């Protein structure tokens, strides 16, 4: 994060004024408040709840971001859908219990809050900005409706100036309503993203009021064009002056510009600045600059606005593919839904930061925000940590996928939704492309390309600097009805076997694997015999971590790797998915209690599955990967065939079972793509003890080794945290991995002990998860069964500096203990 801002100071907004006590002058021009505390919440529709005099004392007190449904209980009747999932090639409608997660998000909910607006008086403007509200938001101030916004994923704002009373208490009320059969995954419920109150002068820069682009980038200079919109009451447009300073990441001013506009002129500024010796933004070097603009009428400071940006260039070229800052590269991307596992949809920057750190270590450099607008915090973190984003708008256009999905709003709202999406995020260097849709059923009618052109025109009007993609899954229809040649970046979902054919037909001259793999697995679960399978189902509702199981329409990772490596002009992939998410428990869509997905490289708790290392071996070119599977604790399998796989960045390795060589394997092309990307010993017979792999580099030198041992009985609990020094901001989180180990420190890979978490001091227990897609244990209770030896406990810092003591216990196990520290930052 830029040195200009404090730790959580205001991710996501161009205008960042209120948390800068060092610059009191700003506070006079613009104040911004996050409305996080003191909300009252009630589930169900309540007549008169919008009225100021309504008595809400008995309602629950909550803080926002808040997801009303994540507390459960899980129930297969929540949003039970009788559907035929067309994109899964289903022929008949069947009952799907966990499709949207089995959590109680359907129905109406109300939020109310006192709205104090200090300093509000004649000549001031007040705006409410919602980062996202799930869904069908209706916003009331002092009993009067100020506006509504149906799409739960988008950001929107309302000017509430005319609704406020100066010098008095005001009342804010928000009604939200989620329909059944409106989603294909868990959407969350409520005010699950932040709500901001902005107070400015009458003459001010509106929400998302700047548009900054960079061009003509050389080693010596980069041109920065900053367009700044100003709003002023009609008939009262004074002469204005805009003073802009660009600062580098160290806070040094590197360019300035002052522009003036005569009274009554159309108050839009365009400033052109030059940054000398620009440091370029890339995933590997996420360097950021900030343009700070001060708006004056005469000598009076009217507003200040900050636009954080990066300097980078990119191209998508026919016959060449994608390049960033002149360097050709392929997207090493993942698709992610927005939920944060046990936190549900309630956004938390620390949770996002941990996700991105795990993806970064895997070598991932890109994220597709499937299939909707992300939280602004994610976009800001992607700027800071270095990820390229495909920001996506819709999962359907005019033709529905689900009965009450976005198609009902499409005609009236698509343009408004696209405009907000683009204006909010178009200054972010991480955003490399927009996506107008995922697998829309309109692929299969002649209107599809017509709609695509219309949507692309809107996006291009708002931002001509980025190309526009769509994820397509109906290959033949995409050419028959003409969507594929129209979309600027043709993205294909699960079609590596048809890339060559597509490239021969596409005028664009390249294509993207917009959604790939959908391999399914459960962390720590291995099934025998080890065979490639589609739609494979087991009695325990789990999938095997040998990474050979996929859906009827999808593949193992290796099949996509081969197509990516063998075909020029395939510009990378976005794997479905980085993390498991709530809902879509394919292949167990019909088998409650399955309620979360199995597509992730990491499970719902954020623990890596084996597949994480298969991608890491390919994507992380800075650090070696050497990973063995399965675990080696198989009482009862003695003498039985138990294949051993090694996911490694090294070209070859030798496997030993209890010191006896099983031979050396080298990655090589064969009729199975797996042999190119994994080392596999398929005939190993299980014997307790240890498996060891010795890796060789390209010169044949033994360079690394890895051992997995048979575990003894569970003995103690081992804790490790993603970080132990937390900000005392009431928000920061530590993710503590809890392992059941034997006396020697080996993971007990089948341990399912009930573990109890106790937290005291300057923090509290927030939630926990074990990654089991069938577990009905609530996330917010401080106890849970280990799943294959592990759980993750999430501890939240309080506002007090101090120590947090964490103890985790389980019957017959030595207690695991750990101390975290919180400090005011």
Smallest distance, ligand GAL to C-beta of residue 337, A: 8
Smallest distance, ligand GAL to C-beta of residue 562, A: 19
Smallest distance, ligand GAL to C-beta of residue 439, A: 5
Q: Which is nearer to ligand GAL, 87 or 408 (CB)?
A: 87
Judged by CB under 6 A, the number of residues near ligand GAL is 11
Q: Is 270 a catalytic residue?
A: no
Site mask for ligand GAL (CB under 6 A), range 422-461, x = bound: ----------------xx----------------------
Among 576, 579, 677, 681, binds ligand GAL (CB under 6 A): 576
Q: Which is nearer to ligand GAL, 439 or 558 (CB)?
A: 439
CA distance 215 to 222: 6
Smallest distance, ligand GAL to C-beta of residue 655, A: 33
What is the chain's alpha carbon radius of gyration, rounded to the nearest angstrom?
27
- Residue 651's Cβ-count burial label (10 Å; 0-12, 13-18, 19+) is middle
Residues numbered 63 to 102 that lie near ligand GAL (CB under 6 A) are 87
Smallest distance, ligand GAL to C-beta of residue 395, A: 7
Q: Which is nearer to ligand GAL, 382 or 551 (CB)?
A: 551
Alpha helices, DSSP H only, in 54-153? none
Q: Which is nearer to ligand GAL, 307 or 554 (CB)?
A: 554
Residue 377 near residue 625 (C-beta atoms within 8 A): no
Tokens of 569: 């002009």
Q: Which is nearer to ligand GAL, 314 or 574 (CB)?
A: 574
- Told to check if 473 binds ligand GAL by CB under 6 A, we report yes
Q: Is 317 a catalytic residue?
A: no
Residue 765's H or E segment, with its range, is strand 763-769
Smallest distance, ligand GAL to C-beta of residue 419, A: 24
CA distance 148 to 150: 7
Q: Which is nearer to ligand GAL, 378 or 550 (CB)?
A: 550
Q: Which is nearer to ligand GAL, 213 or 399 (CB)?
A: 399
- Told to check if 545 binds ligand GAL by CB under 6 A, we report no
Among 134, 351, 551, 626, binds ligand GAL (CB under 6 A): 551
Q: Which is nearer to ligand GAL, 308 or 368 (CB)?
A: 368
Q: Which is nearer to ligand GAL, 206 or 333 (CB)?
A: 333
Residues numbered 708 to 727 that lie near ligand GAL (CB under 6 A) are none
Reported as half-sphere exposure (CB side, CA atoms, 13 A), residue 109 has a value of 25
Residues numbered 205 to 264 that lie near ligand GAL (CB under 6 A) are none
Smallest CA-to-CA distance from 9 within 380, 385, 428 is with: 380
Residues numbered 739 to 758 that lie near ligand GAL (CB under 6 A) are none
Phi, psi of 255 (to 5 degrees): -160, 150
- Told to check if 564 binds ligand GAL by CB under 6 A, we report no
Tokens of 746: 């080996």
Q: Kindly name the residue from 304, 439, 584, 777 that is annotated as catalytic.
A: 439
Smallest distance, ligand GAL to C-beta of residue 443, A: 12
Smallest distance, ligand GAL to C-beta of residue 576, A: 5
Q: Kindly name the residue from 32, 392, 462, 515 that is annotated as catalytic.
A: 515
- Told to check if 392 binds ligand GAL by CB under 6 A, we report no
CA distance 198 to 32: 5
Max Cα–Cα distance, the chain, nearest Å: 89
- Told to check if 574 binds ligand GAL by CB under 6 A, we report no
Q: Which residue is nearest to ligand GAL (CB)?
A: 518
Tokens of 200: 């400015």
CA distance 719 to 624: 25
* 141 bridge partner residues: 144, 172
Q: 3-state class of 62 per DSSP? A: strand
Residues numbered 630 to 659 that lie near ligand GAL (CB under 6 A) are none
- Told to check if 372 binds ligand GAL by CB under 6 A, we report no
| Residue with token string 């999430």 | 794
CA distance 411 to 762: 50
Site mask for ligand GAL (CB under 6 A), range 501-530, x = bound: --------------x--x------------
Among 559, 584, 654, 741, binds ligand GAL (CB under 6 A): 584
Smallest CA-to-CA distance from 615 within 330, 370, 359, 368 is with: 359
Reported as half-sphere exposure (CB side, CA atoms, 13 A), residue 559 has a value of 19
Smallest distance, ligand GAL to C-beta of residue 581, A: 10
Smallest distance, ligand GAL to C-beta of residue 356, A: 21
- Told to check if 493 binds ligand GAL by CB under 6 A, we report yes
C-alpha angle 662/665/333, rounded to 5°? 130
Residue 249 near residue 289 (C-beta atoms within 8 A): yes
Per residue in 690-719, is it b (16+ CB within 10 Å) or e — as a string? ebbbbbbeeeeeeebebebbbbeebbebbb
Give the strand pairing for 107-115 and 170-178: antiparallel
Q: Which is nearer to ligand GAL, 383 or 473 (CB)?
A: 473
CA distance 553 to 474: 11
Smallest CA-to-CA distance from 130 within 304, 370, 375 is with: 375
- Told to check if 369 binds ligand GAL by CB under 6 A, we report no
The beta strands (E) that lie in 132-262 are given as 137-141, 144-149, 156-159, 170-178, 195-201, 210-215, 221-229, 240-247, 253-261
Among 554, 555, 633, 665, binds ligand GAL (CB under 6 A): 554
Among all residues, which ones are annotated catalytic? 439, 515
- Residue ranges binding ligand GAL (CB under 6 A): 87, 438-439, 473, 493, 515, 518, 551, 554, 576, 584
């Amino acid at each position: 994060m830029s040195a200009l801002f404090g730790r959580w100071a205001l991710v996501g907004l161009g205008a960042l004024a209120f948390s800068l006590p060092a610059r009191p002058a700003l506070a006079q021009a613009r104040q911004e408040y996050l409305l996080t505390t003191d909300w009252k919440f009630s589930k169900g529709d309540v007549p008169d709840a919008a009225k100021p005099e309504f008595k809400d004392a008995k309602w629950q007190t909550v803080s926002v971001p808040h997801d009303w449904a994540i507390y459960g209980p899980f129930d297969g009747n929540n949003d039970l859908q009788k559907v035929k999932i067309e994109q899964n090639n289903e022929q008949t409608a069947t009952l799907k219990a966990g499709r949207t997660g089995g959590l109680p998000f359907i129905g109406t909910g109300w939020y109310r809050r006192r709205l104090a607006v200090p300093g509000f008086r004649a000549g001031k403007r007040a705006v409410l900005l919602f980062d996202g509200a799930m869904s069908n938001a209706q916003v009331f101030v002092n009993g009067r409706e100020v506006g509504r916004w149906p799409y739960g994923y988008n950001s929107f704002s309302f000017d509430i100036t005319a609704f406020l009373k100066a010098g008095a208490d005001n009342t804010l009320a928000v009604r939200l309503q989620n329909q059944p059969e409106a989603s294909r995954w868990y959407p969350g419920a409520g005010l699950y993203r932040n709500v901001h109150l902005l107070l400015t002068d009458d003459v001010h820069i509106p929400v998302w009021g700047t548009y900054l682009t960079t061009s003509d980038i050389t080693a010596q200079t980069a041109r920065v064009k900053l367009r700044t919109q100003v709003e002023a009451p009609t008939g009262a447009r004074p002469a204005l002056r805009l003073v802009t300073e660009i600062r580098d990441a160290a806070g040094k001013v590197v360019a300035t510009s002052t522009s003036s506009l005569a009274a009554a002129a159309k108050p839009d500024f365009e400033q052109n600045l030059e940054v000398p010796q620009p440091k370029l933004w890339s995933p590997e070097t996420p360097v950021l600059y900030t343009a700070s603009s001060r708006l004056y009428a005469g000598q009076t400071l009217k507003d200040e606005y900050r636009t954080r940006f990066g300097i980078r260039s990119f191209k998508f070229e026919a016959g060449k593919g994608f390049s960033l800052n002149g360097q050709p590269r392929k997207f090493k991307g993942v698709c992610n839904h927005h939920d944060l596992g046990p936190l549900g949809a309630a956004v938390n920057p620390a949770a996002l930061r941990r996700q991105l750190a795990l993806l970064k270590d895997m070598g991932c450099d890109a994220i597709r925000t499937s299939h909707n607008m992300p939280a602004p915090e994610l976009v800001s973190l992607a700027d800071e940590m270095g990820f390229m984003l495909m920001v996506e708008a819709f999962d359907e256009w005019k033709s529905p996928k689900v009965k009450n999905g976005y198609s009902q709003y499409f005609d009236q709202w698509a343009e408004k939704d696209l405009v907000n999406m683009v204006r909010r995020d178009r200054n972010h260097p991480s955003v490399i492309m927009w996506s107008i849709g995922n697998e829309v059923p309109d692929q299969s009618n002649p209107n599809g390309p017509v709609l695509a052109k219309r949507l692309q025109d809107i996006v291009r009007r708002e931002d001509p600097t980025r190309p526009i993609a769509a994820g397509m899954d109906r290959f033949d229809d995409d050419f028959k009805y003409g969507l594929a040649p129209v979309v600027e970046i043709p993205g294909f979902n699960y079609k590596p076997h048809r890339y060559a054919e597509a490239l021969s037909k596409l005028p664009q001259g390249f294509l993207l694997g917009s959604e790939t793999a959908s391999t399914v697995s459960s962390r720590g679960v291995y099934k025998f015999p080890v065979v490639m399978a589609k739609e494979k189902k087991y009695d325990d509702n789990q999938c095997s971590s040998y990474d050979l199981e996929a859906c009827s329409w999808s593949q193992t990772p290796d099949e996509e790797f081969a197509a990516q490596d063998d075909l020029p002009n395939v510009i990378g992939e976005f794997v479905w998915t980085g993390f498991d998410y709530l809902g879509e428990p394919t292949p167990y869509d019909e088998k409650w209690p399955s309620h979360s997905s199995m597509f992730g490289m990491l499970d719902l708790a954020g623990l890596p599955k084996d597949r994480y290392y298969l991608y890491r071996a390919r994507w992380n070119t800075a650090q070696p990967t050497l990973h063995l599977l399965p675990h080696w604790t198989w009482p009862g399998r003695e003498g039985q065939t138990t294949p051993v796989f090694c996911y490694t960045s090294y070209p070859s390795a030798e496997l030993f079972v209890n010191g006896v060589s099983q031979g050396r394997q080298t990655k090589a092309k064969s009729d199975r793509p797996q042999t190119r990307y994994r080392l596999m010993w398929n005939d190993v017979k299980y014997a307790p003890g240890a498996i060891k792999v010795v890796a060789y580099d390209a010169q044949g030198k033994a360079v690394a080794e890895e051992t997995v041992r048979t575990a003894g009985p569970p003995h103690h609990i081992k804790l490790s945290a993603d970080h132990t020094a937390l900000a005392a901001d009431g928000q920061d989180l530590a993710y503590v991995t809890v392992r059941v180990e034997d006396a020697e420190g080996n993971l007990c890979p089948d341990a399912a002990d009930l573990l109890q978490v106790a937290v005291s001091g300057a923090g509290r227990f927030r939630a926990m998860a074990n990654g089991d897609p069938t577990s009905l244990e609530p996330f917010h209770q401080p106890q849970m069964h280990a799943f294959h030896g592990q759980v993750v406990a999430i501890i939240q810092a309080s506002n007090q500096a101090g120590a947090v003591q964490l103890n985790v216990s389980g019957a017959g196990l030595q207690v695991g203990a750990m101390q975290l520290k919180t400090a005011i930052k």
